[in-house]
Structure 1
Amino acid sequence: MRAQNGAQSFAHRCRVYYEDTDAGGIVYYVNYLKFMERARTERLRELGFAQSAMAGIENLLFVVHSSEARYHKPARLDDELLISAEVIELNRASLRFQQQVRRAADDVLLCEGQFLVACVRADSLKPRAIPEALRTAFAGQGGAGTHSEQEIQRGS
């Protein structure tokens, strides 16, 4: 199932700290993956799904199955970044995210990537279906909003 691209866009803001950079003051390449992970987590939170609650209530975890990244320009110490996290493919037990890291000051594309994220059972790490409430939120059919623990448990 292809995810619907609504007018609603999402971007997580973060700042580049000294710990994110190499000796030349440029963001170390692997840290872009960390920034994108945080953006995916915040995207879920914006939709009303905290990963900690999903692990405990729904016995659900998301794990990265595969990733691809392309680096265009460097980010530097103190840059403010905007990291998008858009679901471009929604399958029974996985999501594919398209992500971009842009410098907030001038909107320059620094890095972009795609991530296939699998939904697994927290206790066994075996694949499981994405709950309907989450599928609906990502498909844009029920919109963003906070889902109660009962809705998450029901998968509605």
Structure 2
Amino acid sequence: MKSVFSIPIRVYYEDTDTGNVVYYANYLKFMERARTEWLRALGFEQDELSHRDGVLFAVRSVKLDFLKPARFNDLLQATAQVAKCGNASITFAQQVRREGLTLCEGEVKVACLDVATFAPCPIPPRVRAQLDAGGSP
């Protein structure tokens, strides 16, 4: 089992709707932050990957289940765990939790794309090496 990476997220007023409940699309933002910080913890910055390796990662597909609401001022944990790694894609199992209770969970598939053509391309060898080593910071 691959390790689960987690970051804290505080729910701000701007994250909520008129009922002080997190607006559904913001869970995607929280998950995006977890994936970005996971990549950073592995030693890779997205702008560096773009300039040095000529690649970027873009979301290809998302499947989410909303289980419980998060509310204004909650302290959440957004997780990212590599579920599957292909030649040109990574599928993440992700959750947003509050005090151990899963509020939203899903699967996010990101594609590795050539920065000039936006065509799928192989994950750079130095990133692949980290993934093959377990994908854990």
* Interval of TM-score (by shorter of Structure 1 and Structure 2): over 0.9
- Following TM superposition, by how much is the alpha carbon of 1:100 offset from its aligned partner in structure 2, in angstroms? 0.5
Provide Cα deviations, 1:63-103, integer angstroms capped at 9, x if missing partner: 11110000000000010110110111010000000000001
- Amino acid across the alignment from 1:127: P
CA distance in 2, matches of 1:9, 1:34: 18
TM-score, with length taken from structure 2: 0.95
Structure 1 runs, 4 residues or longer, greater than 2 Å off: 139-144
Provide Cα deviations, 1:104-137, integer angstroms capped at 9, x if missing partner: xx21100001011000011110111001221121
- Following TM superposition, by how much is the alpha carbon of 1:9 offset from its aligned partner in structure 2, in angstroms? 3.0
CA distance in 2, matches of 1:123, 1:27: 36
- Amino acid across the alignment from 2:89: S
The structure 2 residue matched to 1:10, chosen from 2, 5, 13, is 5
Is the Cα contact below 8 Å between 1:136 and 1:143 reproduced in 2? no
Aligned to 1:129: 122
Aligned to 2:110: 117
CA distance in 2, matches of 1:28, 1:91: 32
Counterpart secondary structure, 1:81: strand
Provide Cα deviations, 1:21-48, integer angstroms capped at 9, x if missing partner: 0000000000000100111011000000
The structure 2 residue matched to 1:68, chosen from 63, 68, 88, is 63
What percent of counterpart residues are identical? 46
The structure in which a higher percent of residues are strand is 2
The structure 1 residue matched to 2:31, chosen from 33, 36, 39, is 36
CA distance in 2, matches of 1:71, 1:9: 20
TM-score, with length taken from structure 1: 0.84
The structure 2 residue matched to 1:93, chosen from 88, 104, 110, is 88
Question: Mind listing any 5+ residue stretches in structure 1 that lack a counterpart?
Answer: 145-156
Aligned to 1:154: none
CA distance in 1, matches of 2:131, 2:61: 20
Is the Cα contact below 8 Å between 1:16 and 1:81 reproduced in 2? yes
Aligned CA RMSD, in angstroms, stands at: 1.4
- Amino acid across the alignment from 2:103: L
CA distance in 2, matches of 1:143, 1:99: 15
CA distance in 1, matches of 2:136, 2:65: 31
